[in-house]
Structure 1
Amino acid sequence: MSKLALVTGASSGIGLAFARRLAGQGHDVVAVGRRADRLEALAAEFPDVRIRPLVADLSTDAGVDAVAAVCAGEPLTMLVNNAGVAHYMPLAELPADKARELVHVKVVAPTLLTRAAVPGMLARGEGAIVNVAGMIAFSGPAPAARLPRRAVYAGALAHLVAMSQVLHAELAGTGVRVQVLCPGVVATEFHERQGLDLSAAPRMSAEDVVTAGLRGLELGETVCTPGVEDTGLLQRVFDADLAAFGGQRVELAGRYRS
């Protein structure tokens, strides 16, 4: 049976690296992006593999619906929700149109594309969902001096982490795997489009991120962090989450009683 992957944000960066890697491994690929010229160039790199360019803007309902129709109607073996926009700025300075675009691309689109793809994967008894987030998802407790404020961006990535973890539990034993891929700073065009010059900063390659993601699927990792050597750090975060969740009571906590 042929393998079919759909990759969003496939015209550059991590998405392009995913599309190339999967095509090199024999997958047919639906490559989703906004730039037709780049998608066509990608397809030309692999004449022996079917790479189908799909031009769509995932910041719009029409774009999400068009890609969701493919996710629902074709036998995907892998869905990579990678498309992203940065818009790094404090909430009070974030224009409404940019806030809407960010939430649509990083929250609405992956949620609806996953919802479209999962029923078919369940019926076939196999499949993989990879949601590309980032380590900023874990940066919420950081003080102001530590990181630039980017509340909406961090919140969108945190949504992908929580959704992926819960969906992994929902689909346990079905043959459908779920992963959220959380790289740190990656050497792509992503930050340049935001006007940030990180050329002097140490950055991971997009190819290494893809290597980690695919190997993480083999290892059964739900949260894949390519740059974190000590996985015990993550486990302690998750253990603390569950301890806090389990520590709630119906009585008002003492600190709130006058």
Structure 2
Amino acid sequence: MFRLDGRVAIVTGASSGLGERFARVLHAVGAKVVLVARRADRLEALSAELENSLVAPADLSIEADRERVVAATLEHFGGVDILVNNAGIGQKTSVEDETLDQFRFAMEVNVTAIWHLSKLCSPSMIERGNGSIVNIASMLGHVGATPVKQAHYCASKGAVINLTRELALQWSRKGLRVNALSPGWFRSEMTGNMATDEASQNFVKANTPLARMGHAHELDGALLLLASDSGGFMTGHSLLVDGGWTAR
């Protein structure tokens, strides 16, 4: 039930980190993957390893780019079965230093792009009578981040979680499932040097019941559960994979 043979999956933010991992995992269980990110060279390198994949370079803060990604997918593969909204931005900054443009840009990439891509993919999924949208949120959409100060990130990820619930309710009787995957601290470009910085590691160990950052493969099962038929009775849910952080 975890197989995705012949299904078409769009993965945003696929040029590095968790997004690249997600694309590899979906491909490994049979999906045809559409690789979306700004860095076309990295996407091309990944596509060379993943048979029958499609490269779709895009800046997801731009409406026309989002439309082009979905149009290219429909033209090349004829439909969409899975959408993994992984692309996101965030940086450590206090509210005093946070700019209005920075906040607006985070909401555009982290929330508006998810809403728009989901809306664009939904007709194909409805036509097929089956579809799964997996929005990559964060444990910081459930709780505050301070002392890692990033109000724009927390606000946007909280919005993603409730957007997930509403889309799930609107589309559930049309064959679409919409869920969120909310990771804790994992190695990625966004977490930067946390994995090697002693103070950061002490912070993670002191506040995570499992006393460490997550390993990338520890999201594989959660992703496949939400994307495949094995999670067929799950919708509107935010699945936390955070080492117990939010259980405190």
The one-letter amino acid of 1:186's match is F
Shift in Å, 1:21: 0.9
CA contact (8 A) 1:14 1:207 kept: no
User: Does residue 58 of the first structure (1) align with residue 73 of the second (2)?
Assistant: no
Per the alignment, residue 25 of structure 1 pairs with 29
1:228 Cα offset (Å): 5.5
TM-score w.r.t. the length of structure 2 is 0.81
> Displacement of 1:118 after TM fit?
1.1
- Give matches, 1:15-164, under 5 Å: 15-46=19-50, 49-70=51-72, 74-140=78-144, 146-164=146-164
The CA distance in 2 between the partners of 1:171 and 1:54, in whole Å, is: 26
Asked if residue 213 in structure 1 is aligned to residue 228 in structure 2, the reply is no
Give the whole-Å Cα distance in 1 for the aligned partners of 2:244 and 2:101: 38
Match of 2:241 among 226, 233, 246: 226
Where does structure 1 lack aligned partners over 5 or more consecutive residues?
A: 234-258
SS of 2:48 mapped into structure 1:
helix
- Greater RCO between the two (CA within 8 Å, min separation 6)? 2
Q: In the aligned structure 1, how far is the partner of 2:71 from the partner of 2:172?
A: 25
What SS does structure 1 have at the residue aligned with 2:121?
helix
Aligned to 2:194: 197
Counterpart Cα distance in 2 of 1:130 and 1:214:
10
Change (3 A) 1:72 1:156: farther
Contact 1:72 1:117 in 2 (8 A): no
% identical equivalent positions: 33
- Secondary structure in 2 matching 1:188: coil
Matched positions, count: 224
Match of 1:93, SS state, is: coil
Compute the displacement of 1:63 (Å): 2.4
What is the Cα deviation at residue 58 of structure 1? 1.1
Which residue identity does 1:111 align to in structure 2?
W
Counterparts of 2:87 and 2:121, CA distance in 1? 16
Unaligned runs of 5+ in 2: 202-211
Give, as a single letter, the amino acid of the residue that structure 1 aligns with 2:6: S
RMSD: 2.5
* Structure of higher CA gyration radius: 1
In the superposition, relative to structure 1, how do residues 71 and 170 fare at CA in structure 2: closer, same or farther (>3 Å)? farther
* One-letter amino acid of the counterpart of residue 168, structure 1: A
What's the offset of the Cα at 1:136?
A: 0.2
Corresponding residue SS for 2:219: helix
Assess if the C-alpha contact under 8 Å between 1:72 and 1:116 holds in 2: no
Asked if the contact 1:128–1:178 (Cα under 8 Å) also holds between the matched residues in 2, the reply is yes
- Please state how far the C-alpha of 1:68 moved relative to its aligned partner: 4.2
Give how far 1:60 is off: 2.4
CA distance in 2, matches of 1:68, 1:111: 13
